[in-house]
A and B are shown apart, each in its own frame.
Chain A
Amino acid sequence: MRYLPLTPDDRTAMLAAIGASSIDDLFADVPPEARLAGPIAGLPLHASELAVERHMAALSRQNRAAGDGPFFLGAGAYRHHVPASVDHLIQRGEFLTAYTPYQPEIAQGTLQMLFEFQTQVARLFGTDVANASMYDGSTACWEAIVMARRITKRGKALLSTGLHPHYRSVARTMAKYTRDSLVDGDPSLEPGTDWRALADAVGKETSCVVVQYPDILGRIDDMTKLGEACQAAGALLIAVVTEPVALGLIKSPGEMGADIVVGEGQSLGVGLQFGGPYVGLFACKSKYVRQMPGRLCGETVDAQGKRGFVLTLSTREQHIRREKATSNICTNSGLCALAFSIHMSLLGEAGLRQLAAINHARAKAAAVELAKLPGVSVMNDSFFNEFTLQLPSDARAVVHKLAEKGVLGGVSLGRLYPDNDALANGLVVAVTETVTEEDIAAFAAALKEVLA
């Protein structure tokens, strides 16, 4: 077996050194009835690299890759061009095959990268601090709600109807067991957000208000007034960003008063990967840092006075605090955070702004073309790179028919809200820099045929 270096002679010599007569002796503490004599029956035996690659390649070919044709899906996962150097660098073995940096003297590479990542995220989100990553946006969102409960000592969270339905489902699942009370609902196909209503609803029992920006239908809005209402009521404003590229063009939630900003960092560096692994972003005002979940990297000095970095404030964490920890999270998303950080370093501020402007312009162009089709209208007044179309028929069926014509034409709201007939004709369309004019034309032509 190509990954196992021990030779039969090694094994014999080692057993002799141990004083065991056979490998089975080493499993003597396993009850005999649970000890398997041979390989588990009915399963395949070992295979060559060639054979395994052949099998996996065949499975890969049974998928339609996003790059195979016109592609317009978003709804929490976005297809952006990732520079070639990103994937090359994250495959450096010293990054790829390192562990969580528990021994900082020989983990400065990971630690400095995390420090840079934390700074990039905090600046992008307009907050003071950020952590070293969470699993993904949806779990980061839930952790923010729990954090708001710890800070405010209140248990009622108001979720905007524009929050990604999977994020809302995760929160609902968890709230069932933590006995938090959530106020939530489905969005309506209207150009305006529900943020004004949320500002009116914030009260003395409210721990937090959670809004997504841009939201699940692609809408963007100013959260300043909502932030003020939260502050007046002693509640926290949590902003969720599932498309961080947007913040190259539009104001950060921190600038508009958000207390905690969480997000999905997949757009930068990580790729689509059928939904994971992604990278959860978690940032907040510095006064809340000791209530944050997850790992934090901090600057310090070594015994010779040289600058260095360590994991810090770990008295919040499970390996120290056990049942009193702020979260049970341990392994997070280090390598995806690295990919995010490298992509962000390559872009820089100028590149991010340009990328965002191109995304927005491309999406506007697509919206104009698609709105020309009979029976089709764009629901949004304003959007970044994603908008919602109202179709004359159920969008679920349309999506499948478009796929038959070689166009992956967005995410139907019926897939996301299967029980809500009022949303059935909605189609969420994302348009990034990877979309060409020809793609838009092909989408419009295919949609016209499907709706005819």
Chain B
Amino acid sequence: MTALNPAGWRPEMNAAGGADDNVTFTGNRALMLEEPLIFEIGSAETTGVDFDEAAPAADLGALMRSDPIGLPGLSESETVRHYTRLSRQNYAIDLGLFPLGSCTMKHNPRLNEKVARMPGFADVHPLQPQETVQGALAVINELAVWLIELTGMHGVAMSPKAGAHGELCGILCIKAALEARGEDRRVLLVPESAHGTNPATAAFAGFTVEDIPATRKGRVDLAALKARLGPDVAGVMITNPNTCGLFERDMKAISDAVHAVGGYVYCDGANFNAIVGRVRPGDLGIDAMHINLHKTFSTPHGGGGPGSGPVVLSEALAPYGPIPYAARYADGSLRLVEEENAGDEHPDTFGRMTAFHGQMGMFTRALTYILSHGADGLKQVAEDAVLNANYVLRSLSDVLDAPFAASGPCMHEALFSDRGFAEGFSTLDIAKGLIDEGFHPMTVYFPLVVHGAMLVEPTETESKAVLDQFIGALRSLALRAKNGDPALKSAPHFAPRARLDETLAARKPILTWGEGGE
């Protein structure tokens, strides 16, 4: 194993200050530090964990693991340094604006972290006798009540692990409800602007996916939708507010039309942050909607999860929701409705979606966030999120094409396109330019219905000063893209890495260390 970083220092680079003044001996640039892989700095003998006893002898015969495993160990000091140095190669909300559209990258309050680590929540086993976990069940139940009240729905399934898992939960409820009616409807209508998880979920559950047509103004074409509805349609999956940043004005009419032909309405709740505390989806005829606790309710994204995706359900679908869930009984005690008692208390459930009871660590954080805000604070969240997005939209519409600017105010995200850029310049260049300006890029090339889409979701936790700086940076980049500034094509120039070769990565995949011949 070599202890040197192949990305940085090499013997032939030994002349720091030579031909290129920007080359250092180490490859580091002051606070921008290169970091080797653990496989290049650790060893199989090193460990950062001390034990109070020597390894006792074991005799498990032929099952004993004898060959080397290949797991390097690091001392604690090396470990702390390795991961701290890696962390500094990441952008994060704690560092600045992270305006990924439909991702709701808002501030993650630290009280949530403190609460989640209380021993009564963090150090509790999911199968402890239920009399020893009444507080944990109370958290699940209290959060469930809030989610039901905030959405105006009838029930909620708490166990789904993330948004896409929640979508599956909702779709399985629809499927179970149809089966209970003895109907085999196979078609789910999904707009082209939907998140990719929607059609993937529908297909996973055995449905055929058909597009819902949209108007040129960026909303569902109600007349075309009505024309398609029929006895083969199980339901619709609609994102509201939609991914073009608009509220579906006709949502109630859509729900009524779908219900009239015996279908169900699934709502993708990824964009709930725009309306939380201000609009209840239950008032719009929704049958099921997942809520990303890691979006609207501020549980940290953690570089790709964990998430949590509770699904609120209408009266029609609630009987089919998954087990387990926490129920409160007349004497005030709480009990899980699980395999043992589901037959009596929740007989029509479609079953279990995951081991244990859901993302408890996310429930404690989300409930803490909700209690901090209260009904008034949550309403303010939606209002400020929408205000910030409209401020971005209107402040840039003279330099960036906003295809739906005439369709009314946006909700919590502002959508732009790459129209008007110089030949050869695209949305990608704006994104990489934003990196150099110290911002995380917006969501790019989504939704698919807009050419070179740029979807900006500032969230409510950004100040006007930050937005003004971002608007200034994006204005500057838009002008550079229109004027064809070649320096923009090679951005980022100041990030830990320049543009990475994704084609190479996919053509010759190296997914573990050692495969590349090291």
Residue from B76, B127, B463, B495 whose CB has the most chain A CB atoms within 10 Å: B127
Given A57-B118, A103-B440, A308-B500, also A3-B303 (CB < 8 A):
no
Given A73-B128, A301-B500, A347-B47, also A177-B92 (CB < 8 A):
no
In the complex, A38→B378 CA distance in Å? 11
- Least CB separation from A247: chain B residue: B65
In the complex, A321→B448 CA distance in Å? 13
In the complex, A89→B88 CA distance in Å? 12
B-contact bits for A242-269, CB 8 A (1 contact / 0 none): 0000011111100100000000100000
Question: B79 to chain A: closest CB distance in Å?
Answer: 5
A23 at the interface (CB under 8 A from B): yes
In the complex, A274→B111 CA distance in Å? 19
B149 at the interface (CB under 8 A from A): yes
Pairwise interchain contact B65-A249, C-beta atoms closer than 8 A = yes
- Least CB separation from A165: chain B residue: B339
Pairwise interchain contact A276-B357, C-beta atoms closer than 8 A = yes
Pairwise interchain contact A345-B300, C-beta atoms closer than 8 A = no
Pairwise interchain contact B306-A335, C-beta atoms closer than 8 A = yes
Pairwise interchain contact A34-B252, C-beta atoms closer than 8 A = yes
Pairwise interchain contact A55-B371, C-beta atoms closer than 8 A = yes
In the complex, A114→B371 CA distance in Å? 34
In the complex, A102→B455 CA distance in Å? 14
Q: Looking at the complex, which of B192-200, B311-319, B418-426 is the stretch in contact with chain A? A: B192-200
In the complex, A399→B47 CA distance in Å? 37
B-contact bits for A86-107, CB 8 A (1 contact / 0 none): 0111111111111111111111
Pairwise interchain contact A14-B69, C-beta atoms closer than 8 A = no
Question: B413 to chain A: closest CB distance in Å?
Answer: 13
Question: A121 to chain B: closest CB distance in Å?
Answer: 9
A-contact bits for B41-60, CB 8 A (1 contact / 0 none): 01111111101011111101
B469 at the interface (CB under 8 A from A): no
Chain A stretch 17-65: residues in CB contact (< 8 A) with chain B: 17-20, 23, 25-31, 33-36, 38-47, 49, 52-53, 55-65
The interface residues of chain A lying within 8 Å CB-to-CB of B361 are 273-274, 276-277
Pairwise interchain contact B408-A28, C-beta atoms closer than 8 A = yes
Chain A stretch 300-325: residues in CB contact (< 8 A) with chain B: 300-304, 306-310, 312-315, 317-325
Pairwise interchain contact A93-B94, C-beta atoms closer than 8 A = yes
**Count of interface residues, chain A, beta-carbon cutoff 8 Å:** 207
The interface residues of chain A lying within 8 Å CB-to-CB of B57 are 357
Q: Looking at the complex, which of A126-134, A193-201, A369-377, A386-394 is the stretch in contact with chain B? A: A126-134
B6 at the interface (CB under 8 A from A): yes
Q: Looking at the complex, which of A229-237, A336-344, A443-451 is the stretch in contact with chain B? A: A336-344
A220 at the interface (CB under 8 A from B): yes
Residue from B79, B83, B136 whose CB has the most chain A CB atoms within 10 Å: B83
In the complex, A403→B124 CA distance in Å? 14
Given A275-B358, A328-B168, A415-B340, also A169-B351 (CB < 8 A):
yes
A181 at the interface (CB under 8 A from B): no
Pairwise interchain contact A25-B65, C-beta atoms closer than 8 A = no
Pairwise interchain contact B496-A108, C-beta atoms closer than 8 A = yes
Given A3-B461, A179-B206, A318-B164, also A349-B279 (CB < 8 A):
no
Of the residues A66, A97, A166, A344, contact of B301 by C-beta under 8 Å: A97
The interface residues of chain B lying within 8 Å CB-to-CB of A25 are 409
B132 at the interface (CB under 8 A from A): yes
Question: B53 to chain A: closest CB distance in Å?
Answer: 6
Of the residues B70, B279, B360, B462, contact of A273 by C-beta under 8 Å: B360
The interface residues of chain B lying within 8 Å CB-to-CB of A176 are 350-351
B473 at the interface (CB under 8 A from A): no
- Least CB separation from B125: chain A residue: A73
In the complex, A331→B149 CA distance in Å? 26
B203 at the interface (CB under 8 A from A): yes
Residue from A19, A45, A65, A399 whose CB has the most chain B CB atoms within 10 Å: A65
Pairwise interchain contact A277-B303, C-beta atoms closer than 8 A = no
Chain B stretch 103-159: residues in CB contact (< 8 A) with chain A: 103, 105, 107-109, 111, 113-129, 131-136, 138-139, 142, 146, 149-150
A442 at the interface (CB under 8 A from B): no
A185 at the interface (CB under 8 A from B): no
Pairwise interchain contact A272-B125, C-beta atoms closer than 8 A = yes
The interface residues of chain B lying within 8 Å CB-to-CB of A123 are 69-71, 512
Pairwise interchain contact B71-A310, C-beta atoms closer than 8 A = no
Pairwise interchain contact A64-B37, C-beta atoms closer than 8 A = no
In the complex, A99→B103 CA distance in Å? 8
Pairwise interchain contact B367-A135, C-beta atoms closer than 8 A = no
A426 at the interface (CB under 8 A from B): no
Question: A258 to chain B: closest CB distance in Å?
Answer: 14
In the complex, A24→B359 CA distance in Å? 35
Pairwise interchain contact A271-B464, C-beta atoms closer than 8 A = no
Of the residues B116, B201, B280, B504, contact of A34 by C-beta under 8 Å: B280
B182 at the interface (CB under 8 A from A): no
The interface residues of chain B lying within 8 Å CB-to-CB of A346 are 47-49, 73-74, 76, 79
Question: B188 to chain A: closest CB distance in Å?
Answer: 10
B84 at the interface (CB under 8 A from A): yes
Pairwise interchain contact B284-A358, C-beta atoms closer than 8 A = no
Pairwise interchain contact B368-A56, C-beta atoms closer than 8 A = yes
Chain A stretch 358-392: residues in CB contact (< 8 A) with chain B: 358, 360-361, 382
Pairwise interchain contact A348-B73, C-beta atoms closer than 8 A = yes
In the complex, A172→B339 CA distance in Å? 13
B-contact bits for A109-136, CB 8 A (1 contact / 0 none): 1101111101110111000111011011
Chain B stretch 346-382: residues in CB contact (< 8 A) with chain A: 350-362, 364, 367-368, 371-381
A152 at the interface (CB under 8 A from B): no
Question: B71 to chain A: closest CB distance in Å?
Answer: 4
Pairwise interchain contact A330-B62, C-beta atoms closer than 8 A = no
Given A6-B387, A112-B37, A274-B124, also A312-B509 (CB < 8 A):
yes
Pairwise interchain contact B118-A60, C-beta atoms closer than 8 A = yes
In the complex, A353→B130 CA distance in Å? 35
Chain A stretch 383-429: residues in CB contact (< 8 A) with chain B: 399-400, 403, 408, 411, 415-416, 418
The interface residues of chain A lying within 8 Å CB-to-CB of B362 are 276-277
Could you list 27 A-B pairs, sorted by A, with CB under 8 Å? A3-B107, A23-B386, A27-B278, A33-B283, A93-B93, A98-B91, A99-B98, A105-B497, A107-B89, A169-B351, A172-B351, A173-B352, A295-B304, A297-B511, A300-B501, A300-B505, A301-B504, A303-B500, A312-B505, A314-B506, A318-B200, A346-B49, A346-B74, A348-B74, A354-B47, A403-B131, A433-B51
The 7 closest A-B pairs by CB, nearest first: A348-B73, A335-B302, A275-B356, A62-B135, A93-B94, A275-B126, A60-B120
Besides A3-B373, A122-B512, 15 more A-B contacts (Cβ < 8 Å) are A27-B247, A59-B136, A60-B115, A60-B121, A77-B356, A89-B84, A91-B113, A95-B92, A133-B305, A138-B355, A167-B355, A170-B352, A277-B362, A312-B509, A336-B305
